[in-house]
Amino acid sequence: MKKKNSENQIHYMPIGMCLGISIGVAIGVATDYLSICMPIGLSIGMCIGALIDAQNRKKAKDNSVDSNDEE
């Protein structure tokens, strides 16, 4: 049974969430506004991860359409 290419792709939303929350915690500890900075960092990280995921899906879709045209 063959796996789809989408199953082999890296998902960037969890990576963005981890990076965003860690940056938010660092800024929150430095400024003493941890309860505000942590969710803001998480939200920004989720948005960036979702944008990268969407961009990669679009690129993969365009590549699959191009390869089908060549056949």
Q: What is the pLDDT of residues 26-64, one digit of tens each?
A: 999 999 999 999 999 999 999 999 999 999 888 888 887
User: In the chain, what is the straight-line distance between the N-terminal and C-terminal CA atoms, in Å?
Assistant: 23
* 23 close to 60: Cβ distance less than 8 angstroms: no
- DSSP sequence for the chain: -PPPHHHHSPP-HHHHHHHHHHHHHHHHHHHT-HHHHHHHHHHHHHHHHHHHHHHHHHHHHHHHHHHHHH-
Give the least confident one: 12-21, 46-55, 60-69.
60-69
User: What's the pLDDT score for residue 31?
Assistant: 96
Residue 67 pLDDT greater than 80, yes or no: no
User: What's the pLDDT score for residue 15?
Assistant: 93
User: Tokens in use for 60?
Assistant: 């993969």
User: What's the pLDDT score for residue 9?
Assistant: 75
Kindly report the pTM of this predicted structure: 0.75
User: Tokens in use for 4?
Assistant: 């789809």
